[in-house]
Amino acid sequence: MLGIIQNIVPTLVVLSVLIFIHELGHFLFAKLSGVAVEKFSLGFGPELIKFSYKGTVYALSLIPLGGFVKLAGEVLEDRKEGELKPTDYLSQSLIKRFAIIFSGPCMNYLLAFILLIIVFMSGSPSIAPVIGDIIDNFPAQEAGIIVNDRVIAVDSVEVSTWDEMRKAIGISHNEVITLQVLRGDEERSITLMPKVVSETNAFGDEIHARKIGVVPGDESVFIKYSFPDAVKEAAVSTYSITTLTYRALYRLVTGRLTPRALSGPLGIIMITNRVAKQGIVTLMQFTAFLSISLAIFNLLPIPALDGGHLFFIIFEAIFRKPVNFKLQERFAQVGFTLLMVLMLFVVWNDAINFNLIEKIKQIIPFIK
């Protein structure tokens, strides 16, 4: 039982921070826009803490996996007399309403950006360019590269990480490349011709890559950046994560990427626990990735999510009239149902991917 709690705690902390920041974005922009906030709640289940301050009820519930901000006058039905007040959400301009909804995902992006800056300044964890294994019948074996060789340059271009080495080999215009290698205290120059191989990337696309036939070892390096460089690297990483996520979503929708690639709450618990053991910097880096993923997910045009509300606001701006409230409710019900189906699928997916069903059978023998 203690082991289970220890596995879950890092995930609860990370998700609680992400949800709090998301809802804080809605809350702050609502206040700045002059909208009354009736309730700011974090979590679900029995309320542990509840108090009122300046017209807003603040609540913390037992299970910190969710949250909401209840704005005054979100729907006309909130006003029995049918007249909206100046501090109601629906009394605000389309731009203000758009900003209030968009601020949640925006805050998740801001959190990720700040975390990544801290990560790059503290020392970004990367795989060292140290050879862990040699693949048979590839150029590295033929050229005499051995395990524990450290690559320090590719065609006179210095490399500090495995990824830098891989990219340098891939983009080199030379048919034959020269590696500067440290073998113990001795520096050697090794010339070889990379082999072009066809492989399938994470998105199911066939690509051609230049390979020398080496596998990384277990050593990690921590590269520290100055503040200006850290800001630049954080911006590049944020953009890369965003574009890769949208590419993955597109391929999921078009059937070019298997839904088995999706991970749910159980997968997040397993990965977060594993990452937390690697140190606070690695955990911050993973939290930044989750924060961006949460922002992107919330921006999907599903009525139960922020993206659905933004879609209705854009519709109102284009056609000069709001979507019928009853129709919005029906769309929201359909969206909620889709989200529940998706949740069940990813939980089942996690159970298969992490072999949890077999583990449960071992613990409870009567399950067939």
From the CA atom positions of the chain, what is the Rg in Å? 26
Q: How far is CA 62 from CA 44, 47, 49, in A?
A: 6, 6, 9
Nearest to 301 by CA among 101, 82, 164: 101
Reduced to 3 states, what is the DSSP secondary structure of residue 160?
coil
E strand map for 171-279? 177-183, 186-192, 195-200, 206-211, 214-216, 220-223
Q: pLDDT per residue over 159-172, tens digit each?
A: 999 999 999 998 88
Burial class (CB in 10 A: 0-12, 13-18, 19+), 140: buried
Structure confidence by residue, pLDDT tens digits, 56-90:
999 998 877 788 899 998 876 666 666 788 899 98
Nearest to 299 by CA among 126, 143, 114, 109: 109
Question: 């500090």: which residue's tokens?
Answer: 160
CB 108 within 8 A of CB 289: no
Site of tokens 């930044």: 288
Which residues are CB-neighbours of 43 under 8 A, at least 6 positions away?
Answer: 16, 60, 61, 62, 63, 64, 65, 66, 67
Query: Per the residue annotation, which of 23, 38, 187, 206 is the catalytic one?
Result: 23
Cα gap 349→264, rounded to integer Å = 8
Q: Is 81 annotated as catalytic?
A: no
Instruction: Count other C-beta atoms under 10 Å from residue 278's C-beta.
Output: 13
Beta bridge mates, 187: 182
Query: Do 37 and 306 contact (CB within 8 A), yes or no?
Result: no
Q: What pLDDT is recorded for position 279?
A: 83
Low-confidence ranges of the chain (pLDDT < 50): 1, 360-361, 363-368
* Domain architecture of the chain: domains with CATH: 2-123+264-363 (no CATH), 125-222 (2.30.42.10)
For 141-162, the pLDDT digits (tens) are 999 999 999 999 999 899 999 9
Torsion sign across C-alpha atoms 98, 103, 109, 110: positive
Quick count: other Cβ atoms within 10 Å of Cβ 262? 16
In angstroms, what CA-CA distances link 55 with 22, 37, 39? 21, 8, 9
* pLDDT at site 363: 45
